[in-house]
Amino acid sequence: MIRRIRIFALIGASVTSICINLQAQDAVGFRDQVAPILQEHCVACHCAKRAEGGYRLDTIEQLSKPGDGAASPIVAGKRDQSEWILRMKHADPDLRMPLDSEPLSAESIELISKWIDQGAKLEGIPATDPLWSIIPPRTYPPAPEHYALAFPITALAFSSDGTQVFSSGYHEVLAWNAADGALVGRFGNQTQRIYAIASSSDPNKLFVGGGTPGSIGEVRLLNLANRSVEQTIVRGSDVVLDVALRPGSQELAVAMADNTIRIINLEKNEQRRMIASHADWVTQLAYSEDGKRLGSSSRDKSAKVADAETGELLGSYPGHAAAVRGIAAFQDGKQWISVGADNKIHRWEVENAKKVAEIPLGGDPQKLVKDQSSVWIPNADKHWYRLELANNAIATKQPGHEDWITSIAIHSAAGKIATGSMDGSIRVWNLSDAALVKAWVAKP
């Protein structure tokens, strides 16, 4: 009898151990399983900027609070009483969430349901943490081997020696031979859309900024030598639109579609400051030559200049009265050039926001590039422009694209300029005489 009791005890202990192990294996984690689903499909309509139904889930604290309907979004242990699940599974498309979008997959709904049934545990995550900040950096899907359609060129940069042109692709950066347009490299594991490519202090590394609109934005450091993402430097709730490296410093300024500017200490890999002086997307950033001032353009119809060290606002220019697309500094940040949806170039002083000059353009300009004596402007009228700073005159108005020119890059030492278009085409030109060197469609 005693022997049988011991056997039953051993069997019972084994069964209990197996059950515990199965439960542990089946446990659903909020941070790495539930939060990414919410961030991708729900946050765009339920955040601080757009709280549909009075409900937000962009922070841990907010996601458990009822919206206007007063129904509890999450009832721990009870999926059938949780408003999340009821709305995700609702038969009426006007009540089902996400609204005006494809319903969540059965697998995603079941995953969230299991998390609720298991107690809706938040793993000790601070209540004030934004949802995006707790999600582990993603491994993005590979880009298609061959593109069905050409992808708009929203970012361009030259390699350090000027022999290659880097362009935005779908979940990748593409490298092209600047002389003959041959595809020479593909660098994956990038965000869905790329809006900024910038050189770092290391010629073998690039900063790549982008994201998925309304969902997530990132800056990733791309190592060209081993074709890998070395680290994710910045993450936010909306796309990254531009980056700028501060002269003489290991700091990176990041322009966000969440209306903020993030200042990142690259040595410590931490955010040193957030500047929130704009009321809409920050479209471009530029430092003064001495690195002491930081200029920003925004869709809120203003261009602003801040002290690069303290973030203190030094001046704001409202002269465009339309979305401002690009900005550049000269005279150590005493004067600035900005371009906007009013189809004009404005030259202005920080002190008293005084306009110095105004030059018309033939269409809507995009982010601009400056060298020592000129400003280069891509334009929706299918031309690129060169403004001579010495006399405020348009020295070049160059046709050559069949669609909007959306991006531009220059390499002074190589004597080359590259332009990218909405139709996916890239053109390389001589810097000296604007002669066309090579044209191709950036479509693998």
Residue 4 has pLDDT above 50, yes or no: no
The mean-pLDDT minimum among 74-88, 182-196, 272-286 falls in: 74-88
The amino acid at 409: A
Kindly give the pairing relationship between strand 261-265 and strand 374-378: unpaired
Average pLDDT over residues 354-365: 96
φ/ψ of residue 146, rounded to 5: -130, 130
User: For the whole prediction, is pTM greater than 0.85?
Assistant: no
Q: What is the pLDDT of residues 143-179, one digit of tens each?
A: 999 999 999 999 999 999 999 999 999 999 999 999 9
Please choose, from the candidates 43, 55, 27, the residue with its C-alpha nearest in 3D space to the C-alpha of residue 111: 27
Which domains are delineated in the chain? 8-134 (no CATH), 156-441 (2.130.10.10)
Q: What is the DSSP letter of 27?
A: P
> 């001495």: which residue's tokens?
290
Question: Cβ(389)–Cβ(376) under 8 Å?
Answer: no
Q: What is the pLDDT of residues 270-297, one digit of tens each?
A: 889 999 999 999 999 999 999 999 999 9
Question: Cβ(166)–Cβ(206) under 8 Å?
Answer: yes
At residue 190 the predicted structure's pLDDT band, cuts being 50, 70 and 90, is very high
Please give the mean pLDDT across all residues of the chain: 90
What CA–CA distance (Å, rounded) separates 340 from 350? 17
At residue 2 the predicted structure's pLDDT band, cuts being 50, 70 and 90, is very low
Percentage of the chain with pLDDT > 70? 94
Buried b (16+ CB within 10 A) or exposed e, 349-382: bbeebeeeeebebebbbbbbbbeeebbbbbbbbb
Q: What is the pLDDT of residues 100-127, one digit of tens each?
A: 778 899 999 999 999 999 998 987 888 8
Question: Cβ(323)–Cβ(366) under 8 Å?
Answer: no
Structure tokens at 311: 């973030």
In terms of DSSP H, where are the helices of 193-326?
A: none
Please choose, from the candidates 310, 277, 312, the residue with its C-alpha nearest in 3D space to the C-alpha of residue 296: 277
